[in-house]
Amino acid sequence: MFALSFQNTTKIARGLGHNPYLMAGLVEILFGSLLFIRGRKRTSQRNVPIFLELGYFISLSFVTGINMYGLAKENLVLGSIVGLRISGAKWLMESVLLWLWVDSHKPYQKSIREHIQATKRDIKEEKTIQQIEWMKWEDQEPDLRLIKEAR
């Protein structure tokens, strides 16, 4: 799949007068990197930033367009369908391979560093709560100035 996409990108690069291997390499490395990073975030059950989602889908659309263009030169209708299927297979590959690589079927466990940060947050929160309680306790003491004025 990637070889066919690489080949189609080199065809377009030649047509545009660019270095075909440099352009194809950049497009495929960009798409592969975005595919891996986005998949890694998704399978570790963390939020995927919107810029990463947009970059991934724009890159996927670009690669799909390249595949459809390159294959449509051979056969207009069948080439377009195969180009779409190649991109769908890449998307499926992302889901399957990254699921295998990062063990997404296992529940997420915090690292030691995350436990330490959570403990520090808890301690800070507990100290703040204690300070609030102390302020409330001090406020319960009668105000001697008010007592003197009342007498």
- Say yes or no: 8 and 58 in one domain: yes
Asked if 62 and 44 touch (Cβ cutoff 8 Å), the reply is no
Q: How far is CA 40 from CA 102, 103, 114, 135, in A?
A: 7, 10, 18, 47
pLDDT tens digits, one per residue of 46-70: 677 888 788 888 888 887 888 788 7
Range of the domain at 137: 112-150
Can you tell me the distance from the alpha carbon of 13 to that of 3, in angstroms, rounded to the nearest whole number? Answer: 15
Copy the structure tokens of residue 113: 């560093």
**Gap between the Cα atoms of 10 and 112, Å rounded:** 46
Residues 97 and 78 placed together within one structural domain of the fold: yes
Domains of the chain: total: 2
Residue 12 and residue 59 in one domain? yes
Q: Is 119 exposed, middle or buried, given 0-12, 13-18 or 19+ CB atoms closer than 10 A?
A: exposed
The first and second tokens of residue 6, run together, are: 């690489």
Q: Is residue 50 part of a domain?
A: yes
Cα–Cα distance measured from residue 84 to residue 61, given in angstroms and rounded to the nearest whole number? 10
Q: What is the pLDDT of residue 30?
A: 82
Confirm whether pTM is higher than 0.85.
Answer: no
What's the pLDDT at 122? Answer: 96
In a domain, 107, yes or no: no
In terms of domains, do 27 and 92 share one? yes
Residue 20: pLDDT above 60? yes
Residues 55, 91, single domain; the answer is yes
In sequence order, which ranges of 20-143 are alpha helices (DSSP H)? 20-43, 50-72, 76-102, 112-140
The answer on 30 and 87 residing in a single domain is: yes
Mark whether 65 and 117 lie in a shared domain.
no
Residue 43 lies in a domain: yes
User: What mean pLDDT is predicted for residues 102-117?
Assistant: 78
Contact criterion met (CB below 8 Å) for 64 and 3 = no
Q: Specify the pLDDT at position 126.
A: 97
Last residue of a domain, one of 65, 83, 102: 102
Q: Per the domain annotation, does 127 fall within a domain?
A: yes
Same domain, 79 and 118: no
Mean pLDDT of 122-129: 97
By percentage, how much of the chain surpasses pLDDT 90? 15
Mean model confidence pLDDT for the chain: 80
Q: Are residues 19 and 44 in the same domain?
A: yes
**Cα–Cα separations (whole angstroms), residue 57 to 62, 82, 140:** 8, 19, 60
Say if residue 24 is in the same domain as residue 95.
Answer: yes
Q: 55 lies in a domain? A: yes
Residue 46 falls inside a structural domain: yes
My answer on whether 81 and 144 are in the same domain is no
